[in-house]
Chains A and B, each alone.
Chain A
């Protein structure tokens, strides 16, 4: 099954999956995603594990555009994950029941299918799921 990333430069390909942030060359401050201004920002790979900082469930279909997800719409979880020593990033949350979400939950980076395009190509976006070794 053919897949493609939601956009270039958001995350590195698996198996070494990482979000690509930007480090401000002058101040050293981190941001995600990497801003287009590469003169001021250098790319930096962000930690792939962290803890859930906050969360909610998207119960209604966001307006399209800009939203382009699966149809019919299915509610999905999203939130912020605190990546130690780096940043707190906004993300979809996947492979977790809505009821199991709680602050501080150990999370790890993965990808999830956002939709399948008419050409049969599956569009992937990044997401965080509960850390598999923490569950076991």
Chain B
């Protein structure tokens, strides 16, 4: 089996672009990735791609070129991008192909996601009673975690403050105005203890990554970043997920922990070897809890880590260096690939104002979403 490398990256700015459909933002990202790798669409031997709500990725062959390549559509909620990369990675690793592309894009209407009970196999009364709201899940998971592990509201605000700072330095970010912790704490309460500025918003964007075998990557001669591990998992028994009318008394692990352990085992390294991490931050508390679920610290250590600035750009483990979902918004199908894009930028050392201070060898990215899926990618240069 061959090693797999990322040899080209492209992104369409996240946020709101009224003049382009989701598909057009995906196409934009593909063209940017091809230009980055100095390749043509006709060089692509396969494609994996998808969006959650903005159309079928494979229809893009009309714009990109009718080369007859196999194009697999992926639809995996928040793990859509991760699943696309998982497919592309496996295709190269098998030895059947040596050059291909993974892409994801999305475009969501403004405001909270709008679920229907029947789509989730839930009775109408659950929604009617006001219990089917995604932000409630984040808040209740976080409330319990904060009380059990001594996390304070100021720590939630510091995570968001860091996100908006990092976002202000990232050209592809959406929210590019720095915001201080007091403003974040004082913004409108949404679901206690989370305020409006501690939540990410549905958004738009597209990302594409070109993957190659080791032989092909050497031939191309450009910068190459090795994919050390790609893992994807669905929820284990006893996990706590969105839209749960009941939970088992016996609490289980998290799907993020399952995906994380699998990725570290595959990469043959541990959390202590990671130099930069992008962790799912649907809201401030998610980044905090995911630090522990992914093995970077124990439960409760985040208080100290964040107070000491260890997760800032100049810290020992910079987290969400482009501002994460908080600053970039969350186009579901593109979000996981944005994290990988950002790690490639950091590993290439081309982050400019947001380049982390420490030397970077291993980059980690983690996406999590409903109904309990997680994907982890570890890169190495």
Contact = CB atoms under 8 A, between A and B. Distances in A.
A90 interface: yes
Interface stretch (B6-14, B138-146, B362-370): B138-146
B127 A66 contact: yes
Interface residues of B, number: 37
Interface string A55-90: 111111011011111000000101110100111111
B129 A125 contact: yes
Given A32-B246, A33-B123, A103-B144, A56 B136 contact: yes
A10 B125 contact: yes
B252 to A, nearest CB: 13
Interface in B134-173: 136, 139-141, 143-144, 147-148
Contacts of B127: 62, 65-67
Interface in A5-21: 6-7, 10, 21
A68 B147 contact: no
A14 B336 CA distance: 49
Contacts of B115: 66
Contacts of A31: 246
B125 A78 contact: no
Nearest to A85: B249
A56 B249 contact: no
B274 to A, nearest CB: 30
Interface string B239-282: 00000111111000000000000000000000000000000000
- Listed residue (B128, B136, B140) with the most chain A CB atoms within 10 angstroms of its CB: B128
B112 interface: yes
Interface stretch (B37-45, B66-74, B184-192, B300-308): B184-192
Given A55-B140, A57-B192, A87 B249 contact: yes
B221 interface: no
Interface residues of A, number: 42
Given A33-B123, A56-B143, A90 B131 contact: yes
A49 interface: no
A31 to B, nearest CB: 6
B244 A90 contact: yes
B130 interface: yes
A136 to B, nearest CB: 25
Contacts of B124: 7, 66
B132 A53 contact: no
Contacts of B133: 58, 62
Given A87-B248, A87-B249, A125-B125, A80 B131 contact: no
B167 to A, nearest CB: 24
Given A56-B143, A66-B117, A92 B249 contact: no
Interface in B324-368: none
Contacts of B130: 58, 62, 67, 69, 76, 78, 92
Interface of A: 6-7, 10, 21, 29-33, 53-60, 62-63, 65-69, 76, 78-80, 82, 85-92, 98, 102-103, 114, 125
Interface of B: 111-112, 114-117, 123-133, 136, 139-141, 143-144, 147-148, 188-193, 244-249
